[in-house]
Amino acid sequence: MSEIPAELRYAASHEWAKNDDGVVTVGITEHAQDAMGDLVYVELPEVGQVLAAGDEAGVVESVKAASDIYAPVSGEVIEINEALEDEPELVNNVPYEGGWLFKIQMSEAGDLDNLLTADQYQAQIESE
């Protein structure tokens, strides 16, 4: 059973979002990294890039496949996790901590309400 922290919100496309006073940190879930397998490359958005919720924001590539990352909320990218350039395996090892992908200065606070709760996300992956 994969870990799904109760305090985070989730996109159906397997990103997690953590809100700190309007700055939303984004990563992929434990379930998603497990399904992808060993990650070998992460392509992140650029700092300053403005994204709408649901926009393509990057790509994670494992040995076997590439998978798009979507912005869970709208806003401007204010920071990216540069450590992933040399250590993409952080996403596998600590997906909710050192394996975060990027941070967005959220422009529409209501976007968070469109995301899944931990219970809802749990239900989604059980039905997949």
**With CB under 8 A as the contact rule, which of the stretches 23-31, 35-43, 74-82, 119-127 interacts with other proteins?**
35-43
Please report the beta strands in the chain, taking only residues with DSSP state E, as ranges in sequence order.
Answer: 9-10, 15-20, 23-28, 39-43, 50-51, 56-62, 66-70, 75-80, 102-106
Site string for other proteins, 87-126 (x = CB under 8 A): ----------------------------------------
Give the phi and the psi of residue 73 in degrees, each rounded to 5.
-135, 165
Q: In what order do the strands lie in the sheet with 56-62?
A: 39-43, 56-62, 66-70
Nearest residue (CB) to other proteins, 17 versus 102? 102
Site string for other proteins, 50-89 (x = CB under 8 A): ---------x-x-xx-x------------------x----
Residues near other proteins (CB under 8 A): 37-38, 40-41, 43, 59, 61, 63-64, 66, 85
